[in-house]
Structure formats: C-alpha cells, structure tokens
Chain A
Amino acid sequence: MATIASASALNPREIDNTDDIPGRRAQLITGNQTYSSVTEMVCRVAEDPQPMLWYVLFGFSSITAVMFLSLIGYLILTGVGIWGNMNPVFWAWPIVNFVFWVGIGHAGTLISAILFLFRQNWRTSINRAAEAMTIFAVICAAIYPGIHVGRAWLAFWLIPYPSLNLWMWPQFRSPLLWDVFAVGTYASTSLVFWYMGMIPDLATYRDRSKTPVKRMIYGLLCLGWTGSSRHWLRYEKAYTLLAALAAPLVLSVHTVVSFDFAVSQVAGWHTTIFPPYFVAGAIFSGFAMVVTLLVPVRKIYKLENLITLRHLDNMNKIILATGSLVGLAYGTEFFIAWYSKNPYEGFTFMNRAFGPYWWAYWIMVSCNVISPQLFWFKKFRTTPWIMVIISIFVNIGMWFERFVITVTSLSRDYLPSSWGYFRPTIFDGLMFFGSFGVFMSLFLLFCRYLPTIAMSEVKGVMSSSEHAEHLQAELLGGGHSHGHGHH
C-alpha cells in the first residue's frame, strides 16, 4: 500500500503519517518495518549503553527522590504541622498533589484498556510506557494520603482486618475509605495488567540476553514464556478480560476521588457533574504527561518510527477533546451556580474567579481550557517541542484546578468569621517537587531495564492490518498493491 506520508527534511525518521485518504489507512509505524526491525529498535533501548543524558537525568531525579524520602522521614518525626495546612484549609497541598498524581495515572490504563476496546491500534506503540507512567504516578499519589494520616505507621488501619488492638472496623460509608479500595484496586490491577503485557516482551529480552545472569533474571520475570499458541490464546483472552475490567475501573477511580469532595455540602464541591468531570480531567492530564514523557523518549532512543507523529497527533486530539470537556464542565458548574440561585454556590464561584485566589483560577482556565485549543491547528499537533510545552501547561493547569477546588472552597465557606487565606510552607513545595524525583527515577529505570514498547502487540497489529488490507483488496477485486506485505 502506498504510504501517505512525507519525511521531514531535518530528521529522516520524522515522517508525517497523520493524514490518511479515506479508504486508505496510513501506516501506523513508518520506515517499512519488519518484525525483526521492530524487535531490534525496541531492544536497543535497553541493550545499548545509555546516553549521557540518562545519567544526568537519573542523578538529578534520584537526588530529588532521596530529598523527598528524607522529608517524609522528617514529616513523620515532626508531624503534619510542617505543612501549611491550617484552619480553615485543612485539606491543602497533600490532597491537591494526590489528586494531581492519581489523575496523571489514568492515561496508562485508559490507553491499554479503553483504546483497546475501541480497537485503536495506534495505542500499541505507547501503551507500555503509559502504563509504566500510570503505576509510578499512582505510587506518587498514594504517598500523600499515606503520610497525611498523621500517624503514618498506622495507615494499615484503613484495611479491614480483624485487629486485636482496635476491635473495630473501618467506616465504609466514608469516601476516603472508598479511595483506599479504589486506588488500591487500581494500583494492583494496573500492575498486573502492565506486567502481563510485558511477559512476551520480557521473553524477547531473555532470548536476546548476552550474559547468563541477565538471561536468568529476564527468564524468571517472563515465567518461561515460549509463545505457544495455546498460551497466546488464553493470554489474549485474559488481556481482553483485563481490558474490559480495567475500563470501568479507570472511570471509577477518579469518580471515587471526586466523591471525596462531592458528597460533602461544601459549596463548590457538592455538584453532581463532579464524577465525569474529574474523569475527563484525569484523562486530560494523563495524556498530557504521556506526551511530555514520550516526545523526549522517542527522540533520545530514536523511536520516531514506532512512536510516530500520528501517535502524537492522536494524543493531542484527545488532549483537545478532554480539555474542551473540562471546559464544558467548568461552564456548566458556573452556569448552574448562577441558575440555581443558591447564594452559597453563587458566591463560591464568583469568589473563585474574582476573590483572593483569582490568579489560581485564571491560571487554571488559561492552561486547561485555552492552551489546548491551540491543538485545533495541525502545526501545533505535529511539532514535538510545541506539544511538550502545551502539555506541560496542561499539567500546570490541572494542578491548579485541584488547588482551586480544594483551597478556594475551604478558605471561604459558610462561616465568614473563620475565613482565611492559605499559605504553603517550604515543605509543601519541596515535597511536591520531590515527588517528581520519585516519578522520574522510576521512569528512567523502566526505560533502561524493561521493554518500553509492546513489541509483540506492535507486531500483532502489523500482521492484522496487513491481513485487513488484503481482505479489502480482495473485496474490491484485486488490483491493490501491497506495501510491506510479504506473502
């Protein structure tokens, strides 16, 4: 099949395959790849010596992570008073950071599960890295409520176990406990999904290992995978089932997170659109983070033929769509606050936009609603450095969204006598920054030791799209040329 694509003059691997003439699908991966060239490209990431940049980034991020862990130790020894949380804003940065990271952690499983159910084959080049990112983001997220409980070493009391010391059970009507179940299920299911997806690729790593130690470690990790057709059959069934299970799970996690706020009676928190609006926001920020990470990854590891402009273009379109959905939700909330004639709702929203936190509100609106609108233009959707900037803006905006929701509503609630203005401490800032160190360290280790792209899935898609082209050509009575088909 003729490729509808043109190579960029600067980088021969940068081929524009974003458009396809209706009736002819552009190739998902460029450069006339074969099965073995896909293996080669992906395995090289881990097999070749890492570039200097990797060491620089890893050094920086691991130092940041160590700082974060030390601060957690300091927090545990001293108490949560080192943060700026103070009457009336008792839920401040820790919950903002928690929701921020959990939101980011939505893209991976969404790509693996929902896009899989919608037969979006382009997901195969990006799902592995996105799932890894999901797990690392959920780890970062889970830290915050864990250390916010005050006596962090008793956080396991959240789990319903027959305790001889307590003689009591958790309170199941609390949305915070739902969070424990939702985030716990999400983290473990995502981990299983990610690991299961990696088994065949770990077998590839095993079979390409040069040293016996590596061979043994990858051999253990891949459970002795052979690629037997019987195994593949059950594996694919299991993958499909996990996708079908993970799809509603992804939705449920941020829904439950939104319940933390929305079941209350606090004006600005209690609104019924919160569940779908939070989910849209989570997908939005998650995809932004995937773009932020994958653009450098494909550049550094020369994966432009696998993670093509089409993948980036599609992700940017999803960012645009979810960004607009979030904008619609902001609008709906504002409209209903006015329409309802509820004085508290009305006040809260005016206070958000024009009160003491006006700056946070307008940062949120401009980053979340306005900046993704640039993705209406193809130029912005297909220029890597521009999309990185926009996606970083999106994540800044999404952090501020959670800040606006949490802090503005709490700082001025029903009791004007206890209104206040929240001020973070240096520890709030350092601990938020530090969580990026944990996240980046884990992601860099992932790139170095584990298969960053789902090779077996990419190959499967290569095979099935070739098959589909063949069938369509037969239907049209032949006369269709084959690009990379090899019969």
Chain B
Amino acid sequence: MTVPHWRCVVLSVVKHAYVPRGVAAHPQFEIVVVADDADRPEWVHQRNQELADEFGVPYVRDVARALADFNVQVAVVSSEAERHCDLSVRAIEAGLHVVQDKPMSNRLSECERVVAAVERRGVKFLMWNRNFLPAVVQARDLIANGEIGEVRSIHVDFYFAKDAGPPTGSRGPDDPPIDWLTFQIAAHVDGSDGAVGTQPLGELSNEGIYPLGYIQMVCGAVVKRVFARTAAHFHQVNVDNHVEDLATVTLEMERGIVGSLCVGRIGNASHPDIGEIKLHVVGSKGALVVSEARPEVGVYYRGQPDKEFKHRRVANDADYTLMENFAQAIAHNTPTVLDARTGWHICATVQAALESAKTGRVTAVPTLSSGQV
C-alpha cells in the first residue's frame, strides 16, 4: 500500500511557529520550502528565514515561484491575520490544499473569498484549532454517545493567563499610545505575539475561534443571534488600540440551544497555568463539566520561575490528530473538522458579537447559504 505524502510550503510565519510545527508532526506532511512576498518588511523575512533554517529548507522571497517550482500540494499559512485569506486564496488558486492559522480573518469579505476559492477549486481547507485536545474529544464523544441526552445549553470559558505589556491605567498623561505592531513584534520573544499585524486585533477576534470551534464540534449547531459586551480591562495596549481583552457573549443557536462565551487575556497573575479553559454543557438527561487542560501533571520545585506552568499538559496528541483529519479529508474527500464554511461562520459570529457590543443590542449572525459565494 502506498501511503500518500504531501509536500508543504509555509507561506509566511511571522508569529509563533506552532502551526508549521504541528503540520510537521504528521509523517505524511513534509515542509519543503518557506515563502513570502519580497516586499515584506525585514522583520518578516527574518522570521521566515528562522523557520526555514529550523527545517533545513530554502526561504524564497517570491510566493508565486515557491508555489510553481517546489512541487507542493499543501500550503501552511501563518502570516499576520490581515494577510491570512489572501495568501490562502493564492495557494488555493494554484490548486493547493491549505492549513491556515487563526483567526480566519479580521474581515468577513476575506473569508468569503476563501470559501469561494475552496469550492471552485475543490481543495481542502483546515482552520487550525484545538478541537482535538483530549478533553475536548472526550466531551464530544460523551455527548455523541448520548450520555447527557440532547444538548440544551453550552458555556465555554477561555481565559489565557498571559500578560500583554503594561497594565491598564499605567500610561502617563504625556506618554504616547502604544503602537500595536511595534508591541506585537517585541512580544515575539515570549510567544505572546499571536495577534501580530498592522491592524489591532482584540482577544475575541483573535481567540474566539477556539471556543466557538468547540461549540460547533460538540453541538453541531449554528449560532443564529448574539448579545455581547466587551472591554479593554487588563492591558494598556488594548486600551490604546481600542480592542477588547475581555468579552462575554450570549449565543442563541439552532434547535433552541443557548450558550455563552467568556474570553479574556487575563494576565499571568490570574491563574497558575495557561488559564481557566472549561466547557459546561447541560443536556436533556444530565450535564457535563470538562476542563480542557486534562490530563496534566503537576511539577513544583524550589526556584521555579513565576511564569513557568506548574501543571503540564500530557498525552496531548492534538497536532497529529488534526493533521490526520486533514490527511483523511484529502485522501477521501471528506470535510475537515473546521473547514472554510465553518471558519466563515465563526468569523461572522465574532463580527456580530463585536457589533452587538457597540450597539448594546442583540445582533443576528449572517448566514452563508450553499452557493452564495
């Protein structure tokens, strides 16, 4: 039996490199080249070069040439959020399957371009996600097995206990506002630059896809209406750039399911580990409370750095499982666990929530009917 093997191009990797590393965790995917547009600023080229060196592959400052000359079948996109969809569309139009970092985009129109291109070219698209973390898979399976009956409500807490520069209220009267891109570039050193880009990106916009991805997988229900409230509560960089670091969202879904979402970048001091990330689900025959961090192992020692997580996640096979899902989708023409249409809908849900937070009113989430794009 011949095992399929896919050659991958990484199209820009300006932030943490967990997506290309996750792709490479599966033996059927091989990273053979890193590429980006020649007109990118030097810090972008530097980071692309670092990843190319890590994998021992060339870095090409010409996306079209990389797509044409390296016999690649899969593109891995991990650029600034505002460039995600454009790079993906260019790869899709070249006939490549795409794995794309979150968020899908900060603009719904860009997501629509991806959906249209995917459906026109018949390729596979996977939004990177955390759905295959062991505890989330267990929640999915328990619910699918009918352990709590039909889902009636679902609530997800998604708090990242990371700092993001100086706290709210720390800017002096004569200090200039913190520049978003400059701050994010500097944050690369500790891996907290997930929202890097020229356009400021709030926590709901940047991380909302993870909890909404859980809800979509566990319930299989589309969000119809939202009511949201947001705040720049913790970090001065969010205040200065008018984007949220804390959000609450009420969700009204298909089949009468209701739910909620709490998302925040709550600061290092507010949790001993990466953060409180939990699912609460009420069903017609019972209920389920799941901590996303399980299983984990506690490690404590004298002189332990404050920022070192004391509880370490173990048995996490999410990267491989995600790429296995992608491999199966390509090989058997099945949907990926978080495909382009689902990604579009999650982006639409986030955009509706941000609109609701501005107006103080309940907001309908737009739909994308079959063949609409």
Mutual binders A and B: no
Name A residues whose Cβ lies closer than 8 Å to a Cβ of B. none
